[in-house]
């Protein structure tokens, strides 16, 4: 089955700096790549996603890039703010069935 | 619009007791349904998923089971809880023909 590796497991950045989280996957058939943000004690919530026919997608301070040849995709957060502190999960799927999640990155924004 | 309901929000159960967690989805039909477990500070482990009423797949063999008595209802059960069953249980749904995966608010289970 699909295997998703996520790095780093923890990340601390100064407020205002950028944060980058990277995921690699094993199944070349994967075609959907979402990112979820989970605040402490809450449910994971979708923040951005990308499909395999697109190389990059942006939504304000958040962007995701996809390299299908190398089988990796990354989350970029610019101008980080304290409310960006959370655990971030990447995921992959083929079609709209079950997602395989990465192990998560705990992002801490230092004021 | 679609909504997902999951209950209870918290549960404390003794070892060896039964378990029943319920999840329902409103505003859609024939959804894909999922149960995940998250241990404290850990990732999301897929337990069961269902693409139809009579189609439930188990990802991890253990003392849990799942049922889908109605199209938009998904139930997670156990006959006898273990200490290792403690965790944050999340139900999720996705549309049959579109992308998108929405989680319920979760049940925090503590087995004592």
pLDDT of residue A96: 64
Q: What is the DSSP letter of B15?
A: T
Cβ within 8 Å, pair A104-B101: no
Residue A34 has pLDDT above 70, yes or no: yes
pLDDT of residue B2: 85
A105, pLDDT greater than 70: yes
Q: Which two tokens stand for residue B5?
A: 């309901």
**What confidence tens digit (pLDDT) does each residue in A54-75 have?**
899 999 999 999 999 999 999 9
Q: How many Å apart are CA A93 and CA B100, to the nearest integer?
A: 11
Q: What does the DSSP 8-state code read for residue A55?
A: S
User: To the nearest whole angstrom, how far is the Cα of A71 from the nearest Cα of chain B?
Assistant: 20
Q: With 80 as the cut, is the pLDDT of residue B97 above it?
A: no
Query: How many Å apart are CA B97 and CA A97, to the nearest integer?
Result: 9
Residue A22 Cα distances to A12, A69, A89, B49, angstroms: 15, 15, 10, 27
For A51, the closest chain B residue by CA position comes to B99
Which residue of chain A has the CA closest to B51?
A97
What does the pLDDT read at residue B61? 64
Of all residues in chain A, what percent carry a pLDDT higher than 70?
Answer: 99
| Nearest CA among B107, B86, B93, B84 for reference residue B30 | B93
């Amino acid at each position: 089955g699909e295997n998703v590796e996520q790095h780093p497991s923890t990340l601390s950045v100064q407020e205002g700096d950028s944060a980058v989280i990277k995921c690699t996957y094993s199944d070349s058939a994967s075609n959907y790549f979402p990112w979820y943000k989970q605040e402490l004690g809450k449910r994971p919530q979708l923040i951005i996603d990308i499909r395999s026919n697109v190389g990059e997608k942006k939504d304000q301070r958040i962007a995701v890039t996809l390299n299908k040849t190398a089988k990796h995709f990354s989350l970029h957060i610019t101008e980080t703010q304290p409310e960006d502190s959370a655990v971030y999960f990447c995921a992959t799927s083929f079609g709209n069935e079950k997602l395989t999640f990465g192990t998560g990155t705990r992002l801490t924004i230092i004021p | 619009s679609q909504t997902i309901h999951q209950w209870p929000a918290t549960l404390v159960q003794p070892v060896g007791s039964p378990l029943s967690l319920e999840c329902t989805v409103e505003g859609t039909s024939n959804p894909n349904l999922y149960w995940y477990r998250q241990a404290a500070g850990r990732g999301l482990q897929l337990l069961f998923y269902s693409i139809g009423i009579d189609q439930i797949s188990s990802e991890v063999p253990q003392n849990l089971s799942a049922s889908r008595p109605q199209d938009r209802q998904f139930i997670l059960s156990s006959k006898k809880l273990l200490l290792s069953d403690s965790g944050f249980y999340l139900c999720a749904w996705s549309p049959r023909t579109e992308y998108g995966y929405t989680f319920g608010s979760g049940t925090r289970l503590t087995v004592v």
